[in-house]
Structure 1
Amino acid sequence: MSGHKLKVIVTRKLPDPVEARLGELFDTEFNTADLPLPRESLAAAMARADVLVPTLTDRIDAGLLGQAGPQLKLIANYGAGFDHIDVATALGRGIIVTNTPGVATEDTADMAMALILGVPRRLKEGADLMQSGDWRGWSPTALMGHRIGGKRLGILGMGRIGQAVARRARAFGLEIHYHNRRRLRPETEQALGATWWESLDQMLARVDILSVNAPHTPSTFHLLNARRLKLMKPSAYVVNTSRGEVIDENALTRMLRAGELAGAGLDVYEHGHNVNPRLRELPNVLLLPHMGSATVEGRLEMGEKVIINIKTFADGHRPPDQVVPSML
């Protein structure tokens, strides 16, 4: 593979230094419009490319993979999540899939912590009041929120990001509780001051704030369905910086509108950018446009990982961030 430059097609605009380096190393085509490629354009790219560099806005299913050219041997995803790629079909066709794990851990945990602080303290309502020009001065009873010190934080998904959230939350005086497929090692639990709940239902009934940090897989789709959300206290808050599909968004919206939950802070949504319009109307909901990993440093590091994965593949070696069947 080292005898010629690989044909690399990038589906979205990436940071300038990342594109510059990709252009130096490979025969690279870029998407200058920075809009998601239509399905037919994505299919055409996969028919020509040796390497495809997609993002989470590209739905690469079995149908598209069936149209890939025989020369497409690597999908080097720009991002840690890979639920938008039919990895099993790709692997069955001899196409390696890589991702960029670990890069966004601290950035996403920072954003989760911002929402954990911001929603109970009614930051959105306060900011809206100031922006509108309607503030008439301080009042003893205005915009009273809730302190978070001493409250119970439930973390759903205790991987790298969940643990990073736990470290931050503990510093703010929150009690750490978590539910995970596998229990953490005792020394990790002790370091985080974390209590494991084998039963998600039992944990949900007891926490004051829930932070969702689980990936989207078939087993986590609507893991927080209407039944489970109803187990939570009416005074509880829900924060999600992982994947929107983990929560039944319609059920969450109904409960927030009915006062059956105190509030929510969301950075991700079940249907991508098509956010439930009723969510936008609620004053106790802080909505962000999938900003969790949006730092200059993080985006550059993601690009570096993509380049390393492609370069390693081009040199005939196993890419360091290969997605393997046990991860599915």
Structure 2
Amino acid sequence: MDKSPFNNLTGIPVFFLQFGKSPKFINKILQQAQYTNGKENVYFLTDTDTHLYKEFNCIDISKYAGACEEFGKVYQHYSVNLHFYEKACIDRWFIINALVKEFKIPWFFYADCDLLILEDLTPVHHKLTEQNYAGGMMFYSNIENDITSAHSSFWSAELLNEFCLFTYNIYADATKFEALLADSQTTTPQGGIHISDMTLIEVFRKQTSLAILSLLSLQSQDICFDMNINMPDNGLGYNFIMNGFLKIKKLRKRKDGVFGIVAGKGEMKFYTLHFQGYFSKFLIPLYMSASSLNIFKRVYVIQKYLRQR
């Protein structure tokens, strides 16, 4: 039997997953995650060009493609996105579930590939387990919005397996799927129904008996998981001052971390920054920890950006 790639864990494993060719900035994302959470705890899951990521813990997930076969037989496409893209977004959870089962991983943190992890996540994981949560996600509800996202999320093996069973069953059962279509609040401007993995996660979160913490609620403890760097509203009543020039949250970078400024409240430390959107990804190197990006490279990136303005 091959040696387990998880034998040297010292904290919660952090998973980044990418199908196909990886974005150019992925190395920076992985370097930063390794700096704050330890190289032994950070994993890049991909099915393409694995030889390019020998400096990281890279796992070839192509061998887990079979985990999606049964779901593929019942999947129906209702999305504004391409069939391949939308189904791949759902398939990733079945693939991770197969990996988690094979290596008996009790918990992991999932991060989208445009998520910069600025702090050690293991203490937050401990908070979840001590309070008997089965996971933690980005979600909030108010009069205007009902939003759930897993771009930054903690999962127990139990929670992930239950979600995969829920997803398969809702597509396999015609009555349940028709109810999902009827109840979907995510519609296109033309009135068509758009169902994504985030739709499924939101419905699952509301129906499961397992306890899931809103990571946004940790803002009351000055622990901030960023919903979207381009948005001032981070949910639950906290509004951040924006940088008028860069069109992102106004950020202060110091030796002890990266801080946003909450209107009427003061500074709050970010544990993650979510660089959603094409332009914001060029800014990723600016907010990496000094030890994970050479300071001269940082100055070069800033100067190059300013020259292009």
Q: Do Structure 1 and Structure 2 share a fold, with TM-score over 0.5?
A: no
Q: TM-score under structure 1 normalisation?
A: 0.28
Q: TM-score scaled by structure 2?
A: 0.30
Which structure would you say has the larger Rg? 1
From the two aligned structures, give the one with the greater strand fraction.
2
